[in-house]
Amino acid sequence: MIPELAGRPLDSTGAIEAFLASRPDTCNARTCATYAHYVRPFAAWLANRPISAAMIGAYLAQRRAAQKSSATLGNDYRMLKTMCRWLIEQGLLDPDPFVGPGRVRPPAAKRKRRRTYTEADIVKLLAATFVQAANKRNPALPRQRWAPGGPYAREALQARTLILLLCDSALRAAEVAALTCGQARADEFIVLSKGGHLDAAFISDSTRAALHDLAGQRPDHDPLFRDWHGRACTTRAIRGLVERLARRAGVALPDRHVHAFRHWAARQWVKAKLNDLTIRQLMRHASLATTRIYTDLDAAELAALHADASPMARLLAAAEQEEGANSDS
């Protein structure tokens, strides 16, 4: 049990608030706000009644009756499950509502086909490095020059490096935003992963060379990727950079277009015949179940594998040979 809670009997509301107060230790501000968004309505509905599988099930049923989307119901389930596991670790809850007979079941979710990038899309993104500035007098015409070291010149250098890094390492947007010039130059590529962990990520020599060029002679503490004003990139700035690059390249972006690079990288590792345990380490996942979300093949990939494995051609050829032998006799 954490020292601040030792010897303090907490009601359910106090326990939930203690959980939310612990989130900044392992989560960024945006994730903390997401936990509060999903957990506080449950605390208000619970009204100090004991936390149990029956109460959580009733809350989720009430949310389902209110016609919340399947994505919202899934987030409710995951956030409450994380909260309960933390409360159990701190000795504030027993038994686990998500384990054993009568446990809380995950809400049914429709299987969603996730679109990612094609190899042709990646090639177009890597090739679309020329940045055109806006012509304020005539917006229909591009401006061919921009100030040296300004945002347009900086974006031309950053865009290609960003795509190389996302495709090669499967970094999350927040991990890219946190990179410094010193990390880019280090012999071992260490990133600040989800949950505040320092993990090794792996990149090829070509990507490492691009990172070195982007860092240049800037101090080690300088942010590697910078926004329009020269400050450290936020995840929003990284998304905006990819959106502008896609417009120049003529590439239709999938949903969650920065995160989609993680799916693309995982698919490449599957094609290279890496097993899921290896891919889990490359993607820095805590759970193999999470990795399998990324390594599921799409319809085209499954069709190609099915065609290679199908015995139909062999069976038909054998049948024709058998028919010929029967007719000869």
| CATH assignment at residue 249 | 1.10.443.10
Give how many domains the chain has, as a whole number: 2
Residues 85 and 125 in one domain: no
Residue 314 lies in a domain: no
Name the DSSP letter for residue 34: H
> Which residues 6+ apart lie within 8 Å of 157 measured at CB?
213, 214
- Which pLDDT value is given to residue 104? 94
Residues 180 and 84 in one domain: no
Residue 38 lies in a domain: yes
Residue 197 lies in a domain: yes
**E strand or H helix at 192, and its extent?**
strand 190-192
- Which pLDDT value is given to residue 45? 95
Domain that holds residue 30: 3-89
Residue 287 lies in a domain: yes
- Which pLDDT value is given to residue 4? 45
Residue 276 lies in a domain: yes
Residue 326 lies in a domain: no
Half-sphere exposure of 234 toward its Cβ, with a 13 Å CA cutoff? Answer: 8
d(CA 326, CA 329): 5
Residues 79 and 127 in one domain: no
Residue 184 lies in a domain: yes
Residue 307 lies in a domain: no
Which residue, among 179, 233, 223, has the nearest Cα to 201 in the 3D structure? Answer: 179
Residue-by-residue pLDDT tens, the chain, 329 positions: 444 444 445 688 999 999 999 999 888 888 899 999 999 999 999 998 999 999 999 999 999 999 998 889 999 999 999 999 999 999 999 899 999 899 999 988 665 667 789 999 999 999 887 666 555 666 665 555 555 566 677 787 899 999 999 999 999 999 999 999 999 999 999 998 887 888 999 999 999 999 999 999 999 999 999 988 888 999 999 999 999 899 989 999 998 899 999 999 999 999 898 999 999 999 999 888 889 888 887 777 778 778 888 889 888 988 888 888 887 76
Residues 163 and 58 in one domain: no
Name the DSSP letter for residue 143: E
| CATH assignment at residue 53 | 1.10.150
